[in-house]
Each structure stands twice: as C-alpha cells, then as structure tokens.
Amino acid sequence: MTWQALRARRAAVARLAGWSAVEALPALLSGLLVARAVDHGFLAGRLGVGLGWLAALAGAVLVGAVATGRTYRSLGAVVEPFRDDLAARVVRAALAGATRPDARPDGAAAARLTHQVELVRDTFAGLLMVTRGFLFAAGAALLGLLALDPVVAALVAAPLVAGVAVFLAALPAMAGQQRRYVRAGEELSRSAATALAGHRDVRACGAAERVVADVGRRVAAQAAAERTLARMSAVRSLSLGLGGWLPLAILLLAAPWLVGRGLTAGAVLGALIYVSTGLQPALHALVQGVGGGGLRYVVTLDRILRTCPEPGDPPATAGPPTGVDESAPAVRARGLTFRYGAAARPVVADLTLSLPTGDHLAVVGASGAGKSTLAALLSGLLPPQAGTVRLAGVEISARGPGELARLRVLLPQEAYVFTGSLGDNLRYLRPDADDATVVAALDALGVRALAARIGGLAAPVAPDALSAGERQLIAAARAYLSPAPLVILDEATCHLDPAAEAVVEDAFADRPGTLVVIAHRISSAVRARRVLLLDGDRPALGTHEELLARSAAYRDLVGHWDARPAERAPAGRG
C-alpha cells in the first residue's frame, strides 16, 4: 500500500526528490569549500580569499534553506492524501461491521481511527523525511569525500556500512516488539471500552474487582511492551557508535598518516566536517527515524490493513480446497434425514437449511431434539440417510478427511487435549502458525492467563491436570487457529461460566467465516444472527425476536432457560 501511495503521487514525490537534491547542496560543498578556504586562503595568508570561499558556503546554505521549506510542501502533497485514504478505509470497515446483521460493538475501531491512523500519517511523513535525508545527505557527503581524497572516503565508508548493517540486522526483532506493543494497545482500548460501556452491570453484579483487574492486566501488558521497546534503543546506540562516531575517531587517529602522504590540513578539516555535519546527523536521523517511527509505521499500518479489509483485498488466511465455489452458501442442506435405527423416529427429518458465508446460527431445542446429530451431519461425521449436505458448493461426501478439515472444524462438548506442549495442541490444525498468531488467538479468546499458568507455548500439558473448562478453552483456541471457514461449536463452552462463554463466542463471531453454535445457554441465541429451533417435525428459523413472537415452543424453551439462575446469561447480554 505504501508503494501504491507513492506511485499514485509520482509528481509530488518527484518534486520532493528534486528539492531534496537542492537541499543537500551544502552537504555536498561544505567540506570542499572549507578546505579551499583554509588551504588557499587563511593558511596562505590571504584572508579575503578565505572569506570568499566561506561566503560561497553561506550562499549554498541559504539555497539549501529555501529548498528545505519546499520539501515540506512537497511532503504534505504525498502524506495528507495517504492519511485520508487510510481514514476512509477504517470508517468503511467500521460501518460495514456495525451494519452487519450479526454486528458486535468494536471498541478498537476508535483506537484505529483516532490513534493508529494519525500514528501512520506522522510516521509516514517522518519516514519519508529521514530516508530521503539520509540518501541525499550521506550521498552528498560521500561524493565530497571522494572529491577530497578516495582513501579518506574509504576510511569513512567502512564503519558507516558496518553501522547500517548492524541496524538492519536488528530490525526484525524490533518489528516483533513493535507488533506486541500495538496489539497490547488495541487490547487495552477494547477492554476499557467494554468495561466503561457495562459499568452499571459490573456494579450490579459485584464484579468491579474482576473487571478492574482485567483492565489492569492490559495496562501492565502495554507497559511491559513499551519498556521492551525502550531497551531496544541500545541497538540503535551501537549502530550510531559504529557508523557515526567511529569514522570521526578513525579520521583523527589517521590524520598524521594522511598528512604524511600529502593530504592538506584543509582537506583533513573538510573531511571532519563531512563526517560531523553530513554523515553523522544523517545516520542518526535514519536510525532514530526508522528504528522508532519506521517500525511503528510498518506494524501499525499492517494492523490497520488486516483489521480493516477492503472488498477487493485477498483473504489473510489460507484458501479453501480446489473446486470450492466461493460464491455458494457456506452450508446448504436439502432434505436432510437421519434416524438411529431402521424403525426409530427420525431425529432429523427432511431438514432444508442454507447458511450464507459469514452467517452466525444458534441451534436450540430440548434435550434429544437432534442438535448434536445435526452438528455431526453438517460436519460430515455422520452420513445422512436421505438428503445432501454441501459445504461451499461441494457435496460433503465427495471430500476426503483432509479436505474436510480445511473446510470445517467441529468442536464437541468433551474437548480433547493430548499430552505434549501447549503449542503443539494449539497448532494441531495449523502447524505453520507463528508464535505471534497463536498469542493473538489466545488473547482473542481470553486464554492468555491459562497459557501463562501452564508455562507458555513450550510448556508440556498434562490433560488430567486440567479442568473440563480449561480443556474447552485450549480446544477453542485450536479451532480458532484452524484455516477452516466453517466453525461448529457443539456445546463446546458448556463448562465455562457465562462471561467466558461470551468472550469465546464473540471471538468466533468476529473471526472471518461462518459460525454454527449448538446453544447451551439462551445468551448464545441472543448473540446469534439467526436461531434454528429443533422441535420434532416443526423446525423454526428466525431471529431471537422473531421466534419469541411466533413460536410458543421457543418461548417455553427461553422461559425454561431463564428459570435456571446458574445458567442465566450475564447482565446486559439478554
């Protein structure tokens, strides 16, 4: 996107480069003119000649100052339209998310618009300035050194290249820490927004200490990330020492030898001026700018582009198997029938159902109504005795286990956790997921505290030592990381408390793809875009409000759920 922004404004970029070249005129001439003033003027006893050369340098400085003002005008012509494009992208994504039928409040959208976009704008401008400043100023200084003496230029260039190399080698680690910092800030924004929006419910439920502790953990995580970033400044200091200060020391130590081989005193002074007023400030600006603002720019822009996709953007996750019709509904079941035994009453009878991509369906019904059977049929674990099931336009019976695993993931009530490391458990369905991706999934589902208690991703997991709810959280994170676009939760959060269940279901609802929830609590139906009621031969499909209005069986089911205080959804959730 950065390259596209620069290409779209070629004229402004060309003007910026042109004025930058003019601005670098003092950096190109300073050492040469000072050398002429010293050698041919002051040391030769000709004061007027020396002052004349310095006057020429003053004229070059004035021309450079005029060019500096022009560079900022050209910079605005590049940066401001880019900022406007980003702000429009964030607003479009926020509006699209808010107007979806299954919309959820996005507390991080405000942080993206008010903080991240402005951060990208400021760092983009700074990055352009320091990059073009280093290229033109350092290039001009090296050309001036070459004009003075090629040996001097070689003595200066070697440590400069070493300092830049050290800095570039450390950039990946710096970028990783910057990503951690951005994620921590966004999580803090989301957590604080949720706490503020529900403060009355928090007070009413006596959960103030718990909510304060949760927000406090987010604050501590952001502070820890910022402290780590501060420690990375040591690498920048090393780069500056090698590339900026070492050339000065080399020139001073080599001065007797250089003079002995014929270099004049003015040329030595000119070389010192090139290093101290040209190369050193340019390198300092580059290291501080790219190591600080540049990393913030790359990481923050990447975060915006991933969380605010445009309709034409490619998907961030791996694509579906070949032969998938991406325009087809995510799930289409026709005439679906299944019975346990030839003479038994059908558990699912002649059911037709279509779920568009991105849908969020909750399946409810009395015990034994066929909810788990339907989940097994839609996932391909049970073959229907009549009818068909298609996932993304492909009949499920035509797919092998490997292809089905890329199309859908089923999370049953009894979660399976195997002996091994926590990371191996979480990456079972996505072995190529890096640590940052896994940690982001843990944060989204509220599993970070559990992972920390176990000992981190590399720590071994003893399944027998985990509670049923903890096993469900690990299995939920595993399913969340899966590349499958269809997720089926078959009472997969029944051992969690209502608040934890809400976090898990909201995370899956925000995850790209389609979600089917076999509901354990009425709050799952309230959160869903649509609800399917299985009630014998009379299934009903609609929103929670529609079914309350037209289905006596659904009203009875809701009343039965509401009559169980231990199962009631948290305040504010319906």
370 in the Ramachandran plot: left (φ > 0), alpha (ψ -120 to 50) or beta?
left
How distant is the alpha carbon of residue 552 from its chain centre? 46
Gap between the Cα atoms of 68 and 137, Å rounded: 12
Give the pLDDT of residue 157.
Answer: 87
Query: What is the enclosing helix (H) or strand (E) of 486?
Result: strand 486-490
Gap between the Cα atoms of 348 and 385, Å rounded: 10
Average pLDDT, integer, range 296-315: 66
User: For the chain, what is the mean pLDDT?
Assistant: 82
Name the amino acid, one letter, at 24: A
Name the amino acid, one letter, at 400: G
Strand order in the sheet with 408-411: 408-411, 486-490, 514-518, 360-365, 530-534, 540-542
Handedness of CA 558, 561, 567, 570 (dihedral sign): positive
Q: Is the pLDDT of residue 323 over 70?
A: no
- pLDDT single digits (tens) 49-105: 989 999 998 998 999 888 888 888 888 888 888 888 877 877 777 776 665 544 455
Burial class (CB in 10 A: 0-12, 13-18, 19+), 423: middle
pTM for this prediction: 0.45
Average pLDDT, integer, range 126-135: 84
- pLDDT single digits (tens) 449-462: 999 999 999 999 98
Q: Is the pLDDT of residue 569 over 70?
A: no
Q: Which residues pair with 354 in a beta bridge?
A: 332
Give the pLDDT of residue 97.
Answer: 65
DSSP result, 227-238: HHHHHTHHHHHH
Give the pLDDT of residue 566.
Answer: 44
The DSSP symbol for 567 reads: G
Q: Contact at 8 Å (CB) between 332 and 390?
A: yes
Gap between the Cα atoms of 320 and 448, Å rounded: 29
Q: What are phi and psi of 524, to 5 degrees?
A: -65, -40
- pLDDT single digits (tens) 148-206: 888 888 888 888 888 888 888 877 777 777 777 767 777 787 778 777 877 777 777 77
Give the pLDDT of residue 507.
Answer: 92
Gap between the Cα atoms of 336 and 346, Å rounded: 10
Confidence bin at 445 (pLDDT 50/70/90): very high
Q: Is the pLDDT of residue 218 over 90?
A: no
Q: Which residue has the higher pLDDT, 322 or 391?
A: 391
Query: What is the enclosing helix (H) or strand (E) of 224?
Result: helix 208-231
Instruction: Give the 3-state secondary structure of residue 478.
Output: helix
